[in-house]
Structure formats: C-alpha cells, structure tokens
Amino acid sequence: MRTRRLPAAVAAASALLVLLSGCGGAGASGAAGATCPGGRVRFGIEPYEDPAKLKPAYDVLAAALQRKLDCPVELKIVDDYAAEVLAMRNGQLELAQFGPLGYVFASRMADARAVASFADAKGALTSYTGGIWVPATSPITSVKDLAGKSLALSSPGSASGDALPRYALKTAGLAESSVRIDYAGGHPEALLALVNGKADAAEINSQQLATARAAGTFDASKYRQIWRSEPVPNDPITVHGKLDPRFREAVTKALLDLDAADVAKVGAFLDVDPPGPLVAVTTETYKPLFDLATALGLTEKDV
C-alpha cells in the first residue's frame, strides 16, 4: 500500500511568496505589457529540495531575470508537482520550472511551453539519472529482490523519484503490489528513510546524491546502487502558452541571455558543475518522458 506524506518545510513553503524589488517605477511601467503581463511575472518552483535552501539560489536567478525583463519577478515555491501544474493552468504562474515528468502533465493540462534548461560550461544540455540504493550489507542485489521489501520513493509526479523506479519494477516483472512503496515526500526525505533504516531501499537520483555527499549527509561507501536509469534531460523552465507571443519571445530571450553566474547556484542543486548559461529546449527534448508516461499508463491523477 502506498502512503504519502509531505515534510513540514514543504507544507510551510506553500505560503512562500517573495517579491524581488529593484525595478524603477518608470521602467516597470514601460514594460508592463507584452513583456510584463499584469505588471509582474510570477515564477513557480517545485520543492525538489528543502525550500529554505532553494530560495536563496532562485533569488539570484530571479533577480537577474528581473533586470533583463525590466519587470518585477515574483518567486513562488509551491507545495508539490500537482500544485504547480494547477497554478499554471489557473493563470497564477507565467513561468515555472518543472521536473521532466511534471512537464509532461503541465504541457497537457496547462499549456506549459518548455523554453530553457540547464547546460554545462561547454553549452551542452545536462542530464541526471534515477537510482535505487540499498545498504551495503543488504541481501538485495537486484530490482527483483525488492519483492516483499519496502521502497522509499520521493513523491507522485517525480520522474526519478516515482515513475522511473516504478518502471524498473515493471521491466523486472514485479507487480507494484509485491513491493511496499512509501512516498516519503521528497528526494531528501527518501534518502533519509534509507539512512535512518526506515526503508529497505530508496530512490536516490544523481542530483540528490551529489547534494547529500557535498553536505556530508550520505556516505556512499555504506550503500550500494542496484539500479540506475538512462539519463534524463534536466528540468525545463516553461512559459504559459496562452500568454502574448511577444512576452514568450521576450522571456525566452532573457532566460537564454542570463550569465552562467546567474544560474550557478540553482545549477548546483541540479548537479551542473561547472555550469554554463541556459540553453534552448522544446517539447521534443522531453519525448522520452512522454513515452514513459504512456508506458506506465500515467494520467494527471498520478501527479
């Protein structure tokens, strides 16, 4: 049976709304139109890491975007994947960064258009991998051995924290009902479930692995990876498709014109090292995720 719980920090983040000031009155007024819908741009971020840690990194990116657009940028860290899709669908977000699988549903339900993602210093789009880890002393050596065991996943709607591990079960011939799946509430929480002995196995993607190792909260020598996914293209930053095409063009240009230093702190959470400027992406970039959703029969109810 699957259970789902959200960490207190994420729940508290639902009220987090930061207005980055700094636009001159005349400049903002002059931009309030095609490049500044409603007099501001609301930028949604899903809580793939502790919101208290994400906010300072995204403050830097949002402030740089604000300067490029000459328009106030409001940064909003939402509750979860579903809340972000709903906010864009209801016209409460002009921009949003989604996880790759979350983007599949955002494109279908909210007309989210992928325009930019994170690149390395050579200008190549970066990627990450999903993984399933167990203690080094565990008798579990393959996905098939998870039958009758507990598996900590991140949260519904996550590519590496939900769909890809479940697809690994499917391809190994395991029914999901034969594995005790627990949605821990996020990537950090899934890792902690393993570290604290609350689960026999847990999803840990390469991004969370890098962050945890750098923070000293995960000693990889004490654990073993029994499964790794194919590379997944990094998160897209999207713009609402129903907005003025001139705004979509302006914000895309502004994002792609940001300096590497403007996105470096965000890139660190996404295991982008060394980072480069953002690069252009399209729906086609994320076709493998659309295929994955089809293979698993996922719908918006699974987000």
pLDDT in tens, 237-284: 999 999 999 999 999 999 999 999 999 999 999 999 899 999 999 999
Confidence at 303, pLDDT banded by 50, 70, 90: low
Cβ-in-10-Å burial (0-12, 13-18, 19+) of 255 comes to: buried
CA–chain centroid gap for 205, Å, is: 12
- Kindly list the distances between the CA atom of residue 117 and the CA atoms of 74, 97, 174, in Å, as whole numbers in the listed order: 19, 9, 34
Is the per-residue pLDDT at 44 higher than 50? yes
Alpha carbons 96 and 180: distance in angstroms, whole number: 33
Average pLDDT of span 132-145 = 98
**Across the beta sheet with 150-153, what order do the strands follow?**
3-4, 180-183, 150-153, 201-203, 131-135, 223-228
Beta pairing, strands 73-77 & 112-117: unpaired
Which domains does the chain possess? 3-124+234-302 (3.40.190.10), 130-229 (3.40.190.10)
SS3 assignment, position 229: coil
Confidence (pLDDT) at 25: 35
Cα dihedral sign, 224-230-231-232:
negative
pLDDT band at 67 (very low <50, low <70, confident <90, very high): very high
**Residue 221 is encoded by which pair of tokens?**
């020598």
